């Protein structure tokens, strides 16, 4: 399976650098000052969403002919990293459009599907990605959502759980069984692109979460939802798992970049506090055990950045990166968790109080080791592919 990034030069490098400079200023001058509002109201303000749409953030990887910026994977992931320096809700709102739903249609959709859906996604219509269910996440064989043939179309029934953006989504990418039997290579799973206002679709009340205020998840309930035959992505049954996994490669790199972006913000905050907070008559930044925590955080974030850059470069060259994406996601998100923990430790007692940012960072960072595949699933993916390569190629001593 080739990677869809193959042969994509992306946005002109000089224009991209200008865009990143603009985004970096926007994050610091606009998004970070608005974080208190986002947290207080558990929502991104409408005027900021409008600005994000105007900047083209919802279509950065969509080809230019469909209204996007045509970024390659490396550019997309750098954009995510810069955006993730601010509250995670900002990235969560746009990343499903460009990294999951948009990439699936761009890489696997028919010409008609691309022409119909990609301009809507690029314009900022919120999208969601429906894979996880109450009884299945990484276990596709346990998937219960079923798409039954109905003339030229299908009838969808089932429930999806923990679906980011579902309370606001206009577009849904839904994985469903098209065979009651669990077929080899997950060929019982197909992928459908649907309007979320279709009759029979309802969205549950947003779940209360540990952190990440302003980013919403909820159940999607589908009861006898009639969809046309051309809702089947690529026009072929049995490719849903392949589409989902390739989309998750991008999603995992996005979460890895989020871990680095958040980690940089957390480390910068810890450094600032360490230089301002005094104990025994001097800044605690002068104490070597504080410096050790700062140094370990820098070393791990730098390593994560290098892993992500390598995985992205490989993807843009057309390499299959499932194992690399899993490794980058595993390391970067675990790193972010450690950096957040050290930040609380550096703040001391103040780090446990809600009035200081360290406590929020700690809560916000925790989900990164769970979604788009838990750390344990990443370990299994990495090991499985290592063993497959060993069996295929034999030991090289």
Instruction: Give 64's DSSP letter.
Output: G
Q: Residue 49 in contact with residue 89, Cβ under 8 Å?
A: no
β-pair type (153-164, 201-203): unpaired
Sign of CA dihedral 379, 380, 383, 385: negative
User: Helical H runs in 177-276?
Assistant: 240-276
Q: Can you say whether residue 145 is alpha, beta or left, with left for phi > 0 and alpha for psi between -120 and 50 degrees?
A: beta
Task: Find the catalytic residue in 372, 389, 391, 393.
Answer: 372
Instruction: Give 57's DSSP letter.
Output: G
Give me the torsion for CA of 5, 306, 100, 126, rounded to 10°.
-120
| DSSP β-bridge partners for residue 154 | 149, 227
Q: Give the number of other Cβ atoms within 10 Å of residue 307's Cβ.
A: 22
CA 371, CA 145: separation in Å to the nearest integer?
20
CA 102, CA 121: separation in Å to the nearest integer?
7
CA 197, CA 203: separation in Å to the nearest integer?
10
Give backbone dihedrals phi and psi of 74, rounded to 5 degrees, phi first. -60, -40
Q: Residue 192 in contact with residue 178, Cβ under 8 Å?
A: no
CA 73, CA 71: separation in Å to the nearest integer?
7
Joined together, the tokens standing for residue 263 give 């980690």
Return the biggest CA–CA distance within the chain.
Answer: 79
Using the CB atoms, write b or e for 255-280: b if 16+ within 10 Å. bbbbbbbbbbbbbebbbebbeeeeee
Q: Is position 372 annotated as part of the catalytic site? A: yes
Q: Which residues are catalytic, by number? A: 372
């Amino acid at each position: 399976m080739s990677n869809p990034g193959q042969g994509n030069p992306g946005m002109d490098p000089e224009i991209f650098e200008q865009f990143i400079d603009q985004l970096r200023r926007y994050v610091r001058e606009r998004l970070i000052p608005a974080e208190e509002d986002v947290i207080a109201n558990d929502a991104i303000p409408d005027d900021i969403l409008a600005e994000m749409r105007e900047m083209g953030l919802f279509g950065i990887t969509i080809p230019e002919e469909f209204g996007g910026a045509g970024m390659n994977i490396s550019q997309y992931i750098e954009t995510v990293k810069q955006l993730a320096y601010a509250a995670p809700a900002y990235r969560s709102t746009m990343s499903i459009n460009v990294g999951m739903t948009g990439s699936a249609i761009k890489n696997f959709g028919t010409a008609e599907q691309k022409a119909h859906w990609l301009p809507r996604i690029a314009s900022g219509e919120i999208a969601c990605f429906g894979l996880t269910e109450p009884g299945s996440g990484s276990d596709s064989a346990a998937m219960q959502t079923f798409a039954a043939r109905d003339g030229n179309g299908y009838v969808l029934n089932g429930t999806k759980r923990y679906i980011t953006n579902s309370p606001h989504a206009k577009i849904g990418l839904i994985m469903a069984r098209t065979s009651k039997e669990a077929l080899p290579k997950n060929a019982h799973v197909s992928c459908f692109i649907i309007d979320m206002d279709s009759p029979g679709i309802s969205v549950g009340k947003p779940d209360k979460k540990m952190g990440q205020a302003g980013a919403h998840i909820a159940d999607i309930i589908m009861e006898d939802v009639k969809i046309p035959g051309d809702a089947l992505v690529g026009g072929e049954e049995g490719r849903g798992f392949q589409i989902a996994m390739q989309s998750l490669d991008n999603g995992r790199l996005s979460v890895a970049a989020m871990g680095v972006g958040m980690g940089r913000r957390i480390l910068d905050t810890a450094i600032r506090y360490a230089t301002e907070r005094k104990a025994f008559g001097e800044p605690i930044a002068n104490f070597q055990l504080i410096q050790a925590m700062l140094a370990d955080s820098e070393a791990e974030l730098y390593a994560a950045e290098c892993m992500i850059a390598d995985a992205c470069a490989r993807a843009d060259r057309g390499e299959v990166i499932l194992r690399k994406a899993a490794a980058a996601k595993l390391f970067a998100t675990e790193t972010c968790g450690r950096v957040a923990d050290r930040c609380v430790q550096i703040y001391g007692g103040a780090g446990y109080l809600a009035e200081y940012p360290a406590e929020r960072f700690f809560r916000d960072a925790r989900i990164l080791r769970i979604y788009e595949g838990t750390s344990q699933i990443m370990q299994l993916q990495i090991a499985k592919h290592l063993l497959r390569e060993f069996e295929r190629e034999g030991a090289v001593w």
